[in-house]
Amino acid sequence: MFSIANLYQGIYNRIQNEFGMDRKGKIVIDIHDFCTFLYSASYVPVYLFEHKELTFSYPDQDKSTSPPLQYLEKLLEADTQVSFTATQFYSYYGCIRIKNSNSNLIIGPVNDFPYTTETLSVMTNDFSIGKSDFDNFAEFFHNIPQQNLDQFVKLLLFINYSLNQTKVSREEVQQSVGYQIDRSIDQKYTEKSVEAKEEGLLLNNYAVEKELVRYIETGNLAGLNKLTNRTRNLKIGTIAHNTLRQWKNTFIIALTIYTRAAMKGGLTPTVSYQLADIYLQQVERLTNVDEVKALINQVQIDYVNRVANSILPITSDNILHQVVQYVRDNTNKNITVQTIAEFVGYSRPSLSRKVKRELGFDLSTFIRKCKLEEARDLLAYTDKSISEISNYLCFSSQSHFQKTFKALFGITPHAYRKLEQVRGNEEPTGSHVSMSIQLKKL
């Protein structure tokens, strides 16, 4: 069974067996042999730089998989003996500066999770990989064992001790690196976050929390943006001894709620939990409250978008994406299967068969469901009358709207609104159960 302890012992045994001693009894190491043994024991790529120029790599490889320049510059210019940096694809590279020389060892990348096709596709931008080289590129990274940051730092400390025969503590490495993350990650999160940052998170107001959960469950980005603007000054209670820890704790609570809401909305548990793990790691590396707030907004948008797209398989063609988006964007219009067929350039029977075959539901049923889900939000979060909602969503009559609503949700629109008003005025004593759990499913 693989363990870090076994890895260190294996490397040390090879050092003792293969390398000699100087007059002072210190181990004299051939750096190339050391790198060879290090890679064969850990299977983490190793790169030897002399005067900041790459001279050897272990395993032997072409430049397409060598560490990208933006991460190399940070490592090679670090003024500490041991350093590491995080990448925008959630991996880490480490650097050991070899004493009394112009040599540096770069180790990595290591990652907490297996590399997915989606992650590798993002990485091709950093590594400048073309489509024809993607398979070899992916194979290289799939061969690197998973390793978390804690294990990786310990490995760097061990390598430093073996090469430089000086001890560096974990605290010294953490302090010098400062759990820094690539600024490009911060920039991208900020650019993608909602323009107006919230001053408080939506967790101490039960009614607002329920509204947010509904928007995530239904993939309603427009509703989420309106809610964000409306509640930008909402405050939160004190749950930590300092502001940064307060927002990190708030983030963790919110992420738990978002993850469950997304799964309820149709996002697979595998994707939901893996995203949560990645975001949890990301937030703990942040050192600024504004960065945490921006990440909260990014998580909201990410989950909403993924739920909105989860109704479609990854392999769905552009026509189906157009169909689903058209329905979601036009719930307040009198749309029919014929209307949508004309929009995408299909005949009505052909489009109906395509949707049923590839998505597993009737298009007319999907249109009705989207309208009724919006009706539920309008009942809960606006003062529109039932008649106004019926007209806004283009139902043939108020009685037809009420009958259809009850058939889907098991409750009349009037009763639903009253129940939501009561629940909105209640303070929950524990984790609330979303109203929709109690309603009948389609």
**Three state DSSP letters for 15-73:** HHHHCEECCCCCEECCHHHHHHHHHHHHCCCEEEEECCEEEEEECCCCHHHCCCHHHHH
Q: Are 310 and 261 in contact (CB under 8 A)?
A: no
User: Tell me, what's the pLDDT at 176?
Assistant: 59
User: Tell me, what's the pLDDT at 202?
Assistant: 38
User: Tell me, what's the pLDDT at 179?
Assistant: 47
Q: What is the arithmetic mean of pLDDT over 372-385? A: 87
Q: Is the pLDDT of residue 104 over 50?
A: yes
CA separation for the pair 172, 216 (Å, rounded): 42
Q: Greater confidence, 377 or 393? A: 393
Task: Identify the weakest region by mean pLDDT among 118-132, 237-251, 335-349.
Answer: 237-251
User: Tell me, what's the pLDDT at 61?
Assistant: 85
Closest listed residue to residue 179, CA positions, set 273, 248, 250: 248
Query: Which pair of tokens denotes residue 59?
Result: 């395993």
Buried b / exposed e over 57-93, threshold 16 CB at 10 Å, is bbeeeeeebebbeebbebbbebeebbbbbbbbbbbbb
Q: Is the pLDDT of residue 266 over 80?
A: no
User: Tell me, what's the pLDDT at 199?
Assistant: 39
* Separation in Å, CA 121 to CA 21, 165, 267, 315: 47, 40, 21, 16
Q: Is the pLDDT of residue 77 over 80?
A: yes
46-50, strands of its sheet edge to edge: 53-58, 46-50, 103-111, 91-97, 82-86
Q: In the beta sheet, which residues pair with residue 103?
A: 50
Q: Mean pLDDT in the chain?
A: 78
Q: Greater confidence, 70 or 189? A: 70
User: Tell me, what's the pLDDT at 3?
Assistant: 58
**Which of 117-126, 175-184, 432-441 has the highest average model confidence (pLDDT)?**
117-126
Task: Identify the weakest region by mean pLDDT among 162-166, 197-201, 298-302.
Answer: 197-201
User: Tell me, what's the pLDDT at 182?
Assistant: 44
Q: Is the pLDDT of residue 24 over 90?
A: no
Task: Identify the weakest region by mean pLDDT among 175-179, 327-331, 389-393.
Answer: 175-179
Closest listed residue to residue 299, CA positions, set 341, 330, 332, 256: 256
Closest listed residue to residue 405, CA positions, set 369, 357, 434: 369
* Residue 17 pLDDT grade (very low, low, confident, very high; cuts 50, 70, 90): low
Q: Is the pLDDT of residue 239 over 90?
A: no
CA separation for the pair 77, 72 (Å, rounded): 8
Q: What is the arithmetic mean of pLDDT over 309-318? A: 63
Q: Is the pLDDT of residue 289 over 80?
A: yes
Task: Identify the weakest region by mean pLDDT among 199-213, 254-268, 425-439.
Answer: 425-439
Spell out the residues 6+ positions from residue 421 whose beta carbon is closer than 8 angstroms to its own.
none
* Separation in Å, CA 285 to CA 19, 133, 181, 313: 39, 33, 7, 33
Domains of the chain: 4-180 (3.30.450), 188-310 (no CATH), 318-438 (1.10.10.60)
Q: Is the pLDDT of residue 426 over 80?
A: no
Closest listed residue to residue 156, CA positions, set 74, 103, 97: 97
CA separation for the pair 99, 102 (Å, rounded): 8
User: Tell me, what's the pLDDT at 403?
Assistant: 95
User: Tell me, what's the pLDDT at 424?
Assistant: 59
Q: What is the arithmetic mean of pLDDT over 259-285? A: 84
